[in-house]
């Protein structure tokens, strides 16, 4: 009798566990990608091909990010010697769901252009904002908040 009772309790527990696994949603966190931009002597104003998103951070527009849809390249300008880096935070969406997110940081000081090469899905959208980045405290400030969605394939406004 005790054995049958123990088996019944064990079976009930296993069924409950199985039901919980079946009912629980499959959770998959999107990894946050951090890239440090590669310094370049090229100015994207002269090499651009594709649509550009541009956003300024800080003051005077001396810090800027731009997205080049041809090649999926983030370009970042640090034009102000303020001891801070320029960063672009981005969110990559498909069908209204976040599929990737990250940041590209130009930590080469002023004056410098730097770029991050990415490979986004052609049928997805991006949202982005340009910020100043303090590496010692790992904090963002003066984010432009002007980011808006656009398609990756041709980077047209959505």
Residue found under tokens 């370009």: 75
Global pTM?
0.75
pLDDT above 70 covers a percentage of the chain that reads 70
Strand partners, 75: 66, 115
Q: Give the pLDDT confidence score for residue 35 in this predicted structure.
A: 97
Q: Confidence class of residue 145 from pLDDT cuts 50, 70 and 90?
A: confident
Tell me if 117 sits within 8 A of 72, measured CB to CB: yes
**Do residues 99 and 82 touch, judged by C-beta distance below 8 A?**
no
Residues 12-44 pLDDT 10s = 444 344 433 333 334 468 999 999 999 998 877
| Cα–Cα–Cα angle for 154, 70, 94, rounded to 5 degrees | 50
Grade residue 62 by pLDDT with cuts at 50, 70 and 90.
Answer: confident
């Amino acid at each position: 009798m005790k054995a049958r009772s123990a088996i019944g309790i064990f079976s009930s527990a296993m069924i409950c566990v199985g039901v919980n696994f079946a009912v629980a949603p499959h959770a998959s966190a999107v990894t946050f990608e951090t890239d440090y931009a590669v310094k370049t002597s090229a100015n994207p104003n002269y090499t651009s091909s594709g649509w550009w998103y541009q956003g300024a951070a800080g003051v005077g527009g001396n810090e800027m990010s731009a997205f080049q849809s041809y090649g999926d390249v983030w370009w970042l300008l640090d034009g102000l010697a303020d001891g801070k880096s320029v960063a672009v935070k981005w969110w990559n969406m498909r069908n209204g769901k976040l599929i990737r997110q990250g940041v590209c940081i130009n930590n080469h000081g002023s004056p410098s252009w730097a770029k991050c090469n990415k490979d986004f899905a052609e049928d997805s959208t991006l949202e982005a904002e340009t910020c100043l980045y303090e590496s010692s405290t790992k904090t963002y400030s003066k984010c432009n908040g002007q980011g808006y969605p656009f398609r990756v394939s041709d980077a047209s406004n959505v």
